[in-house]
Homo-oligomer: A and B are copies of this chain.
Amino acid sequence: PDRLMTSPYMPCGCRYVSKAAAKTQMEFEYDGPSMKTEVPGPRSKELTKQLGEIQNVGAVHFFCNYEESRGNYLVDVDGNRMLDVYTQISSIPIGYNHPSLIKVMSNPNNMSAFVNRPALGIMPPENFPEKLAESLLSVAPSGMSRVQTMACGSCSNENAYKAMFIWYRNKERGHNIPSDEDMSSCMINQSPGCPDLSILSFMGGFHGRTMGCLATTHSKAIHKLDVPSFDWPIAPFPKLKYPLEEFTRENAQEEARCLEEVEDLIVQWRQKGRPVAGIVIEPIQAEGGDNHATPDFFKKLRNIARKHGSAFHVDEVQTGGGTTGKFWAHEHWGMDDPADIVSFSKKMLTGGFYHKDELQAYRIFNTWMGDPSKNLFLAEVLNVIRRENLLEEVTRSGKTLLQGLYQLQDQYPNLLSSARGQGTFCAIDIRDDATRNSIILKARDKGVLLGGCGDRSIRFRPALVFKEHHVHMFLNVFSDVLAEHN
């Protein structure tokens, strides 16, 4: 039976018709979710069993038919079509099988970039500087004109940390020529060559799961358990009350407390002989539960970094790429000089980091250094974002989404709290962990795909092509599911 969702919440005939450009988009996308089985269905279960013979499938939700997926709709192998508000852990920028990306693939001029993956650091392709200019540099954060690509988010942060360590040591030495002792001691993992430096991170932060990144990740124990780590300082991230504008005084106090702690930790770790070479922070703690802080907090933190001679690294792996309504979430802070390093991945399709001139390092290197085929897709994604005014769309959809969440929160005060967000990067807290998980599963069976974060939050991570009518469709299903949990 076709379990296509209909409900009084969904405005009749609201199917979105863009006057601007989106004829393709309109014809291209599906009308709504359509459910044939529970999820995972029988075919997904069969494939999960098969894959289980090869690797751990503890985290597999279901198997997908990516060929049939379109725009905001993910189709699974049992023919279920779901409105995707999670988008592969926030990594699909403009929906599935966007016609413009298909074109990139079918352009014979691009063939060679896919078939011959170069060692970019030594033998880049002819169009590499041009493609960087039209893709990554065209959206470079304020004050940054240099960028290094990497294969994924973790590698991006690992290498960003290395760039900060190298920069810090050069500053300490007063030049960039290592001593003989530096050279010999580093070969056996000892200082001064491998110095006792640290990165200050925040409780609740997530920066990846390789060992350097993991020492700065503090969102869930399960990420860190059993892996050796570094004795690096961990500051409290402000625990604010939402909506932020209603609790300005309490929130400002909480932020002041955290900033004071940051300064204390920097001093303590310097005294310990492990100076803080860099501070890393997400503009919105994503995995950790969509924890926000105010522009004032980030401005002051940036100043603390400057005052103590630590580099300031803004990790935009999850927040970057337009989902907050600005291309980078840190643009909401309104600063000319927001950071020394900004890392990215996910929606950017390639990992990497922007950095100030003084943080460039010859020693940041590996075999692939990214993947030029991903830069081709990114260049086209940016074209689509501009052509279809997707940042404006995100802002509009995001407002509608947040208003809908506020409304539902008023309606279900025992179930929901702390609706919050920027653009469509929104979240809401659920009564408890068990209810949260049940809501996510129930919504999925009704054709809406959601993800959790933190202890008891649901995070909304649609693609940038998530329009107002998709918001209404989502709110409609969500409302039904909440009614079942009240």
Contacts and interface: CB of A to CB of B under 8 A. Distances in A.
Interface of A: 43, 47, 50-51, 53-56, 58-67, 69, 74, 77, 88-89, 91-92, 96-98, 101-102, 105-106, 109, 111-119, 121-126, 128-129, 132-133, 137, 145-148, 151-155, 158-159, 161-162, 165-166, 168-170, 178, 182-184, 186-190, 193-198, 203, 208-212, 215, 218, 221-232, 234, 345-346, 349, 360-368, 373, 377
Contacts of A117: 88, 91-92, 349
Nearest to A223: B363
Contacts of A113: 66
Nearest to A361: B56
A96 B116 contact: yes
A360 B55 contact: yes
| Number of identical monomers bound together in the oligomeric complex | 2
Nearest to A199: B228
Nearest to A109: B67
10 contacts: A47-B126, A51-B129, A77-B126, A88-B123, A155-B210, A166-B226, A186-B226, A187-B221, A188-B234, A194-B229
B366 A209 contact: yes
B194 A224 contact: yes
Given A169-B226, A194-B226, 8 more contacts: A43-B126, A88-B122, A88-B123, A151-B151, A151-B155, A186-B226, A189-B230, A193-B226
Contacts of A194: 224-229
Contacts of A364: 56
A411 B54 CA distance: 52
A210 B182 CA distance: 19
Contacts of A88: 117-119, 122-123, 367
Contacts of A102: 111, 115
A126 to B, nearest CB: 5
A112 to B, nearest CB: 4
Given A211-B212, A231-B189, A362 B225 contact: no
Nearest to A92: B116
Given A55-B360, A209-B365, A226 B195 contact: yes
Contacts of A162: 209, 211, 226-227
A40 to B, nearest CB: 10
Given A194-B228, A212-B210, A89 B223 contact: no
Nearest to A101: B115
Contact of A119 (B91, B126, B189, B226): B91
Given A98-B115, A112-B67, A125-B63, A54 B152 contact: no
B54 A137 contact: yes
A363 B220 CA distance: 11
A367 B91 contact: yes
A58 B137 CA distance: 20
- Please indicate which of the listed interface residues A106, A170, A198 has the most CB atoms of chain B within 10 Å of its own CB: A106
Contacts of A211: 158, 161-162, 210-212, 215
A54 B225 contact: no
A103 to B, nearest CB: 10
Given A54-B146, A154-B155, A363 B222 contact: yes
Contacts of A158: 154, 210-211
A18 to B, nearest CB: 21
Across the A-B interface, the 6 shortest Cβ-Cβ residue pairs: A211-B212, A194-B229, A189-B229, A58-B362, A88-B119, A158-B210
A124 B161 CA distance: 31
A59 B124 CA distance: 11
Given A96-B116, A211-B161, A197 B63 contact: no
A55 to B, nearest CB: 5
A283 B151 CA distance: 26
A38 B69 CA distance: 50
Contacts of A122: 59-61, 88-89
Contacts of A155: 151-152, 154-155, 210
Given A123-B88, A124-B63, A187 B118 contact: no
Given A362-B58, A366-B209, A367-B88, A224 B152 contact: no
A144 B223 CA distance: 26
A59 B126 contact: no
Contact of A55 (B74, B146, B226, B363): B146
A123 B363 contact: no
Nearest to A182: B225
B124 A64 contact: yes
Contacts of A221: 178, 182-184, 186-187, 193
